[in-house]
Each structure stands twice: as structure tokens, then as C-alpha cells.
Amino acid sequence: MRLIVAITGASGIIYGKRFLEEAKKRNFEVHLVVSDAAEKVAQSELGNVEWSTLASRIYSPDDLTAPIASGSFHVDAMVIVPATMKTIGALSSGYCDDLISRAADVQLKEGRRLLIVPRETPLHAIHLENMAKLSRMGVTVLPAMPGFYHGPKTVDDLVDFIVGKMLDQLGVEHDLFRRWGS
């Protein structure tokens, strides 16, 4: 599988890192963009993260000439995890001022799979309207809201639940959590 993964500056960088670990385990080709704000949040939440060990290629968020900014660059999907409300707002309005929003806009215009994992609470009406607008456009909106039916014991169990749900949306088999009724 060939993916674009973007990590933006919302809290919950652990979701993006854990998703990248699972993608690497499966030998996915990952084209990664980490926003400047995400770098700062990652430092605060996780310490130093060696993104280069988790991706096939890394792009600067300022590089609008990167291959992933073009519709001629074919990928199976793009995942934004975590997705800030700023990024979601940019996408819902078509405002593309960086590589993350441009690559996501390309997914929309090409009719390709785009998955966003918002991590914000509480949400106000504009947040909800932006997510609803993207959902109507075919974007999968998968908020970082873990379930508890699988009997999580650790924070990692909760993170794995969300990463597992992301993999489900991409049609990827996994055993990151116990499914309901199993």
C-alpha cells in the first residue's frame, strides 16, 4: 500500500506515530509530512521522534513542489493523524497554503481516499460543520474517540483501538483490539 501520512499540530501525536509503526510493520510505502506545529507538540508529548525511521520519504510542509502535491502521483490513500481544526478548516474551504492541505486537496479532486483523525474537544459548530462538509465530500472522519468494549488496560490499548479503526477503514487486517462479540 502506498500512503501519504500527515501529522499536524493537535495533541495526540501518539496516534500518528503508532499508525506509522503499523504501516512500517506491513511494509507500506509512506510519504510523510509533519507540520512545524506537530514537531513542537511531538517534542512535548513524546520527546524526540525519529520520523525518518518510520517513513519511506519525508517532505517539508513548505514544499509545494513535492510529488505528493500533484494528482499524477498515485497513492492508495492519505491519512491526517492527528488532524487539527485549522487543517480541517482549510480543507473544507479549499484553502491550500502548505503541502499537507495541498496533498489532501489533491486527494479530494482526484476522488481518492482521505481519512482524517480529529483530536480536539470540545467542538463548536464551525468544527462540526467543517467535518460534516468533508464527510459529505467522501472524507472519512474518524475522531480519536476510543471504545472501551475491548477492555483496555493501558493508554497503548486505547491508542491501538484508534489505529485499528484507521486500518479497518483502509481495508487492512490487524489484531490491535478485540472486536465486539469476539
The count of structural domains within the chain is 1
Please identify which residue in the block is written with the cell numbers 510493520.
Answer: 25
Whether 12 maps to a domain, the answer reads yes
pLDDT digits (tens, 9 = 90+) for 83-134: 999 999 999 999 999 999 999 999 999 999 999 999 999 999 999 999 999 9
Whole-number pLDDT of residue 72:
98
Please check whether residue 174 lies inside any domain of the structure: no
The answer to whether residue 77 scores a pLDDT higher than 90 is yes
Provide the pLDDT for residue 182: 77
Q: Above pLDDT 70, what percent of the chain?
A: 100
CB 178 within 8 A of CB 150: yes
Residue 148, in any domain of the structure: yes
- 114 in any annotated domain: yes
Grid cell in block for residue 74? 498515485
What is the pTM (predicted TM-score) of this model?
A: 0.97
**Residue 147 covered by a domain:** yes
Residue 28 in any domain: the answer is yes
pLDDT mean over 42-64: 98
Whether 181 maps to a domain, the answer reads no
Helix (H) or strand (E) holding 53: none
Residue 158 is part of which domain span? 2-169
Does 178 map to a domain?
no
CA distances from 101 to 4, 8, 33, 109, 159 (A): 12, 10, 10, 12, 25
So what's the pLDDT on residue 143? 98
The mean pLDDT of 160-181, rounded to a whole number, is: 96
Q: For position 106, which CATH number holds?
A: 3.40.50.1950
Q: Check residue 138 and report its DSSP letter.
A: T
